[in-house]
Structure 1
Amino acid sequence: MMTEAPFLPRERLRKHQEYFQNAQKHTYLKGRYDKITSVAIPLALASTVIVLIGRGMYNMANGVGKKQ
């Protein structure tokens, strides 16, 4: 019987496990680029939506931007 080689050496895997188990941050913010995907992108989308809704309300209140 042949066995497959592991993806990572055991020492490196153990080091990663210790890092993720002992870190004080939330699980979804532990990677290098996780702050971008779980904080910055949703904030950018929310701010864009708020600006567009405000612009639409202003246009409806003042009758601006109507099509003939």
Structure 2
Amino acid sequence: MLAIEPNLVGTNHLIKSVAQTQFVAAINGGYFNRNNRLPLGALKRDGKWLSSPILNRGAIGWND
């Protein structure tokens, strides 16, 4: 999930995403639900949980 627009959801090749934007850093990570195209695992944005952890996996987060 790209964090540059709140409603931008989907998948893309990392190199294409970098070329289409002015990213200074990019992380290729995670797997996606093929039905709703949201990332699998813990995802919290603006204090709201969008998805929960799966398979007892850890998560990392930051707030800028």
TM range (shorter): under 0.3
TM-score norm. by structure 1 comes to 0.19
**If each structure's strand is expressed as a fraction of its own residues, which one has the higher value?**
2
TM-score norm. by structure 2 comes to 0.19
**If each structure's helix is expressed as a fraction of its own residues, which one has the higher value?**
1
Greater relative contact order structure (CA < 8 Å, 6+ sep): 2
Structure with max Cα Rg: 1
